[in-house]
Amino acid sequence: MVWGLYNIKGTGRQDMVTQVEEIRQRIENSRKSSLLAAEGVTLLGASKAQGVEVIEACIRAGVADFGENRVQEAQAKWPEIKRKYSQVRLHLIGPLQSNKAGEAVALFDIIQSVDREKLVDALVKEMRAQGRDLPCYVQVNTGAEEQKAGVRPEAAGAFIGYCRAAGLHVAGLMCVPPVGQHAAPHFALLAKMAAEHGISQLSMGMSDDFETAVRMGATCVRVGRALFGERLD
């Protein structure tokens, strides 16, 4: 993967401003159209495979939350960006190996992909060692897909209990619905599980379905292609 490569309508400041405004407008329209929608929805730029320049254009256009999938790629891009824009929050939205927990805790502000006890233990240990207390999201494999990250829905209750007992701050739930299925039932399941467990944040919805997610109560939508253009990776 070449991180500097991107194919984007919005590399220039003005184009990016227009793109961000359009997505914010779509979020707001969806929010107003549903009684289930949250009061506020965070637009998270899913910036995997995007270069520093385009990410900075997006920050200048007003986006303050970004998600990266790989620790290594984030380490190559984000220390420089964070030095310039200290207000930005960096979320880890891809799978995390427990042996990378230390690096993740040092760089990220929010971990959205917590799904295994071993990872919970590693995160808790690293947060204590580094004196950091990051909000975490439990990723739920709502489609119970074989290869997919996330805890199975039937195991989520016990897993959330494990996280809390270990001292992890479970701020939210996150899901990536199966490709080729209607996303709405998956979003509904995630929202129901969050309500059952007293969890307030819901990270759900991507470029093709963020409006549905907002109508169903998303507090964070993770938008890549609709914001940055198609990826070339």
For 44, counting Cβ atoms within 10 Å of its Cβ (0-12 exposed, 13-18 middle, 19+ buried), the class is buried
Which residues, 163 to 192, sit near ligand PLP by CB under 6 A?
A: 176
**How many Å apart are CA 179 and CA 90, to the nearest integer?**
25
**How many Å apart are CA 134 and CA 103, to the nearest integer?**
13
Helix (H, G, I), strand (E, B) or coil at 93: coil
Which of 37, 206, 213, 214 forms a contact with ligand PLP (CB under 6 A)?
206
> Whole-number minimum distance, CB 86 to ligand PLP, in Å?
24
Q: What is the dihedral of CA 77, 79, 82, 88, to 10 degrees?
A: 60
Nearer to ligand PLP, 88 or 206 (CB): 206
User: Total residues at the site for ligand PLP (CB under 6 A)?
Assistant: 13
> Whole-number minimum distance, CB 31 to ligand PLP, in Å?
18
> Whole-number minimum distance, CB 115 to ligand PLP, in Å?
12
Nearer to ligand PLP, 159 or 210 (CB): 210
Count of beta carbons in the 10 Å neighbourhood of residue 22: 12
Does 143 sit near ligand PLP (CB under 6 A)? no
Q: What are the residues binding ligand PLP (CB under 6 A)?
A: 46, 48, 69, 93-94, 176, 206-207, 222-226
